[in-house]
Amino acid sequence: MLLLPLLVTLALPTARAFPEHLSTFLHKNIEGAGKCVSDSHNGHVHGEPESEMAAFFDVSQTRLAWPNTPQSDFDGVPSPPLEIQPLVVSGPSSNRVDLVFFSDGYLQEEREKFIQDATRLASDISSNQTFDTVKPLMNFWAAFTPSKESGVGVGGKPKDTAFGLYRPGTELRGVYYAKPEVAGAACSSLGDQCDYPILLGNDPLYGGLGGRFTVITPSLANGASILRHELGHSIIKVGEEYDGGEGYFGVNAHADLSTPVPWAHWLTNSTNVRVERSVMPMQDYAWALLNTTKPWSVTFESSGTFARHLVRFSVSGLPEAADLQVDLDGTDLGWVPRANIGLDRWHYNLYREGGLSGGPHTLTFTLLNGARVPAAQMCNAEILEFGDESEFVSTPGHYSLYPTFSFENVTTYRPTNEDCLMRLVTTPNFCKACLEGLWLKLLRDVTLIDTIDESCAPPASSGPTPTSTLTLRLVPLAQFRTSAVAGLDESYTVTWSKDGVVLPAWTNKTQVDAAPGTYAVDVKYTTTEVRVDPTNLLTAHMNYTVSESSCTRA
Ligand SMILES: *[C@@H]1O[C@H](CO)[C@@H](O)[C@H](O)[C@H]1NC(C)=O
Ligand SMILES: *[C@@H]1O[C@H](CO)[C@@H](O)[C@H](O)[C@H]1NC(C)=O
Ligand SMILES: *[C@@H]1O[C@H](CO)[C@@H](O)[C@H](O)[C@H]1NC(C)=O
Ligand SMILES: *[C@@H]1O[C@H](CO)[C@@H](O)[C@H](O)[C@H]1NC(C)=O
Ligand SMILES: *[C@@H]1O[C@H](CO)[C@@H](O)[C@H](O)[C@H]1NC(C)=O
Ligand SMILES: *[C@@H]1O[C@H](CO)[C@@H](O)[C@H](O)[C@H]1NC(C)=O
Ligand SMILES: [Zn+2]
Ligand SMILES: [Zn+2]
């Protein structure tokens, strides 16, 4: 609501111009793998362009490629040439949610690299995790356009590439696009084959952007993580679950404890609805470039009333354990980089049993290896304090009310401690509340019945009446999946009727021999991943008439 004026400005400019205020808006609303991408201009972190999403909620019950941008903004802008390649395809685009990777900064001779990068990312987020169970509702495509230069621009200057991707500086933060109108025309030219455009910039390191176009890189450590987090925002329409963000909304957020909990049906103990006890005494999105002259440090106060604490931070440009020392009150926390991280960025979580004493504490980042200047960077740091296990259940799989602290230290609540990729980008899966939201959102745009096909059955030897064979084509869930999902309990129930009378012999059949007449089929899908379906999105209905002449013998 608060951000509505921005919506208006976002919708007004023609995409050709890409005016400064739109650019500022995009800069402010940059997202990158959780809490680490922020706005350099005003010094505090920003999350998603949630204003865009709020608008999407408000104005659109149906899919649109660009929530706030009328199609006409792209009138007259030609699409670049696109070479489409299927990556993961489950059915017709008319009844699927289609994600398309568009290439930026890939030369003609790097076409194969683009296909490999897009294939790896699509496979990472759909083969055994994240979108695995909903994959039959989705298609993933690659759309190749050669660029004249390789890579993404730096220092705010795009290269000569298809969509003009660039980093504002050299830091591993946001990657922006200079040619939204070209990206818009590209997606638009694909019609219903492009619901969620993803601009894949040919750069090996961390970077991305959420919003109208999801921007990512094929970074081995971070590409898939940023992608799935951004798709969580853009598809499910949920906000952050991490601390220090700006937007907390949707099925994973609860602001007012006097109102019903959105995930009440997922609570582990619904007779004991409580807030898990924790506090965030410090967060700093410092984006400090480290040097060997002076360590970077921050001092904060603890109340001294908590049993446990966590030091959470992200750094980049620091490939070796000997490059950096992280101390809390002069004690070396024993930081070691993620294996093979190289110069890329990564998030670290140092959990510590025992409470912090009441009073001031100092967290210090000391660069030990001067050769890492100027890449070495402390992106952000945060301290969390927790009660003991009886006050704060840290066990995975526990659903309760966990406090989340915004960049202004406003408290909202999330469903789990750290089960969700909307909180912890290093986790590959959504929490159950988000996952249920994903099902319901996708099923707003996909009906469980793809079609009914009619063919002529061989005439019955005993009678003169020719019959038709009806084949009910369902979205390939449950027994129709091409590969079963371990641990997922799901089923289809199929009920046929003729002239309003149920045909019990046909229950659960997807192929029936039908005499002329009008049939109705009702399909209900059940999955343990959806507990509440208020608008019956997990059902489908279709009528079908077999005419007298359908299968008359020639
Ligand atoms: C999915 O596969 C990847 C790559 O093989 C593996 O690293 C990951 O642990 C798997 N995830 C699950 C949930 O099995
Ligand atoms: C739920 O909480 C109540 C109240 O604290 C407790 O008595 C009960 O044992 C809990 N149930 C479970 C299943 O943990
Ligand atoms: C946030 O607010 C809580 C409670 O008022 C306070 O204890 C904590 O220190 C604050 N954290 C920050 C980073 O301001
Ligand atoms: C070195 O880093 C410290 C801590 O971030 C900073 O205060 C100082 O200005 C930096 N010095 C130089 C020369 O960049
Ligand atoms: C139809 O399938 C559903 C789901 O597997 C099952 O619960 C039901 O018993 C089946 N009905 C018949 C008549 O087979
Ligand atoms: C199917 O036919 C019934 C009865 O004529 C009608 O009420 C219903 O709206 C029809 N459903 C569809 C999906 O056309
Ligand atoms: Zn986010
Ligand atoms: Zn979640």
282 lines ligand 3 (CB under 6 A): yes
pLDDT of residue 9: 23
pLDDT at 291 over 70: yes
Residues 6+ apart with CB under 8 A from 141: 84, 85, 86, 87, 89, 98, 99, 100, 101, 193, 194
170 lines ligand 6 (CB under 6 A): no
541 lines ligand 6 (CB under 6 A): yes
pLDDT at 42 over 90: no
Pocket perturbation via mutation, ligand 3, pick of 409, 410, 411, 412 by most ligand atoms within 8 A of CB: 409
CA distances from 134 to 169, 262, 490, 492 (A): 37, 21, 12, 15
The answer to whether 208 touches 174, Cβ cutoff 8 Å, is yes
Q: Which residue has the higher pLDDT, 480 or 553?
A: 480
Q: What is the pLDDT of residues 131-190, one digit of tens each?
A: 999 999 999 999 999 999 999 999 999 999 999 999 998 778 889 999 999 999 999 999
Sign of CA dihedral 393, 399, 401, 407: positive
Measured in angstroms, how far is the CA atom of residue 439 from the centroid of ligand 7?
Answer: 19
DSSP type of residue 240: -
Q: Which domains does the chain have, with CATH numbers?
A: 4-150+180-236 (3.40.390), 277-392 (2.60.120.1200), 447-546 (2.60.40)
CA distances from 50 to 98, 210, 331 (A): 22, 10, 39
pLDDT at 457 over 60: yes
Measured in angstroms, how far is the CA atom of residue 312 from the centroid of ligand 7?
Answer: 17
d(CA 541, CA 322): 63
> Among candidates 86, 61, 67, 127, which has minimal Cα distance to 482?
127
Whole-number average pLDDT of the chain = 86
The answer to whether 367 touches 319, Cβ cutoff 8 Å, is no
d(CA 554, CA 546): 17
Measured in angstroms, how far is the CA atom of residue 386 from the centroid of ligand 3?
Answer: 13
Measured in angstroms, how far is the CA atom of residue 28 from the centroid of ligand 2?
Answer: 44
Q: List the structure tokens of 382.
A: 């945060």
493 lines ligand 5 (CB under 6 A): yes
Q: What is the mean pLDDT of residues 31-57?
A: 30
d(CA 191, CA 189): 6
In three-state form (DSSP H/G/I as H, E/B as E, the rest C), the secondary structure along 165-195 is EECCCCCCCECEECCHHHHHHHHHHCHHHCC
520 lines ligand 6 (CB under 6 A): yes
Residue spans of alpha helices (H) in 424-480: 432-445
Confidence at 321, pLDDT banded by 50, 70, 90: very high
Measured in angstroms, how far is the CA atom of residue 545 from the centroid of ligand 6?
Answer: 11
pLDDT at 43 over 50: no
Q: List the structure tokens of 51.
A: 């204003």
pLDDT at 20 over 70: no
pLDDT of residue 173: 83
The answer to whether 27 touches 9, Cβ cutoff 8 Å, is no
Describe the chain by its helix, strand, coil percentages, rounded to 5.
20, 30, 50
Q: What is the mean pLDDT of residues 241-270?
A: 96
d(CA 259, CA 413): 12
The answer to whether 513 touches 469, Cβ cutoff 8 Å, is yes
Q: What is the pLDDT of residues 405-426, one digit of tens each?
A: 999 999 999 999 999 999 998 8
Q: What amino acid is encoded at 79 in this protein?
A: S
The answer to whether 44 touches 285, Cβ cutoff 8 Å, is yes
pLDDT of residue 8: 23
pLDDT at 480 over 50: yes
Q: What is the pLDDT of residues 361-380, one digit of tens each?
A: 999 999 999 999 999 999 99
